[in-house]
Amino acid sequence: MSEILTSLAAALPLASGWSIHSLWMRRRIASARRDPLTGLLNRDTFEERASKFLNGGPLAVYFVDLDRFKQTNDTYGHAAGDAVIRATGHRIQEWATENGGLAARLGGDEFVAVTSVYSAGEFDWTLYDLSDRLERPVAFEGTQLAVAASIGTIRIDPRTELADLSALLRRADEEMYKAKQAGVGWSVAPSVAPTLETVNGRRAGRRGTTGGIGGAA
């Protein structure tokens, strides 16, 4: 009996160590799936989870890019820019959660989201609500930082329209670019068919591409 107790006593620290290691690994894996500044999903995790929306009912995909963000960094410093990004991430996450959706930060000042929407009226209100939240000032060291955003979006019903997530994101990105160029808050795609030139499957002129349409966001 004493030998059994001795063996159990010796095994307890080892079991505890493995438990702590397992918890540490789970936390590392979870953190790797999220953007460290905002806590939002990263692109790969977002695409993995958002694709499941295509097996459900009507949905909308949104592409968000902040306006004049470089001016904020240049005028107030990168700490102020980080504050704006964190606030934007929090606002998009809160809005997406309330609407049963998902949100992610692609990097820089670019964000994406997907939500379920079942009527034109619901879609209009959801889009207006997102724009209103994003454009509220951000408090930073006694200063109210102005925030503006351009939103591109597309609404489809996967039960009657065929489109993969990458096509929807590309189309929403095109509409975001149109909204930014026109100086309006948002633009809605009338169809899935792309309207702008692409480079390697991405809108020509956007970061990471060359040639095509200039003035990228």
Q: How many residues does the chain have?
A: 217
Choose among 117, 145, 113: nearest CA to 130: 113
Which tokens in the block code for residue 106? Answer: 């692609």
Q: Is 157 a catalytic residue?
A: no
Among residues 35, 65, 67, 109, which one is catalytic? 109
Show which residues are catalytic: 109
